[in-house]
Amino acid sequence: MVQPGDEITPGLEGTPTTVKRYGPLARLNHWVVAFSLIALALSGLALYSPYLFFLTNIFGGGQTTRWIHPWIGVLLFVSFYVFFAQLWRANLPNRDDVTWLVRFKDVVAGNEERLPEMGKYNAGQKIVFWGMSALILVLIATGIVIWQEYFSVYTAIETQRWAALLHAAAAIVIILIWITHVYASIWIQGTMRAMTRGNVTAGWAYRHHRKWLKQLTGLRRKGPARANAVESTKAAKHLGL
């Protein structure tokens, strides 16, 4: 699915053609989410185990960590769901995602030719997106229940204990998802620049998200087969592919 702002920029002499993937505000929001998650993981682990209490020094001590942790959670919730509103349609699953998952061995082996052409997001990215969407809801809901300063009087102790257990379990899972997300971003060369510069090379888009690139170039528009073939050739030459 092509989103507003996605566009191809022809390269100047000696520079590659690039494809815009994220605007400045989307990138800023992404990094707010990322740093909020890191801060929540560190402060949460510091409060969870006495062995990790030394991590409270990062936030100015135990009391400050206890006070700031839930507020960082609110920041994460708001910033992520601004992101969610922009991206949820492009992350809806389809049949190609099922094929991608069935052929996951080829994904790991880098056998792109055996995989279906993917849109702007592949099945792995969609799992990360929807997994984080659900877990952040669980974390904010359980976090409010155990937020002693404001909400402890509204729920029973037993409810708060179950909420604390669920909160910890959701936190562990979202940390694992986040680590997977970061690893995949580093493992697939050229991915990080999407969140630093806002664009990727046309070669990267052709290899990993070919359907999206074709949608951008208009290759998937309906029309006579011969006309599409001519158009495809022109666009491929234009992109230097």
Between CA 132 and CA 140 the distance in angstroms is 12
pLDDT at 231: 46
pLDDT at 79: 95
Contact criterion met (CB below 8 Å) for 168 and 138: no
Contact criterion met (CB below 8 Å) for 80 and 132: yes
- 181 is annotated as an active-site residue: yes
Which amino acid is residue 207, in one-letter code? R
pLDDT at 240: 54
Identify the segments of the chain with pLDDT beneath 50. 220-233
C-alpha distances in angstroms, 42 versus 35, 124, 170, 191? 11, 26, 15, 26
Q: Pick the catalytic residue from 167, 181, 208, 209.
A: 181
pLDDT at 199: 94
Q: What is the pLDDT of residues 179-226, one digit of tens each?
A: 999 999 998 888 999 999 999 999 999 999 999 999 998 854 444 444
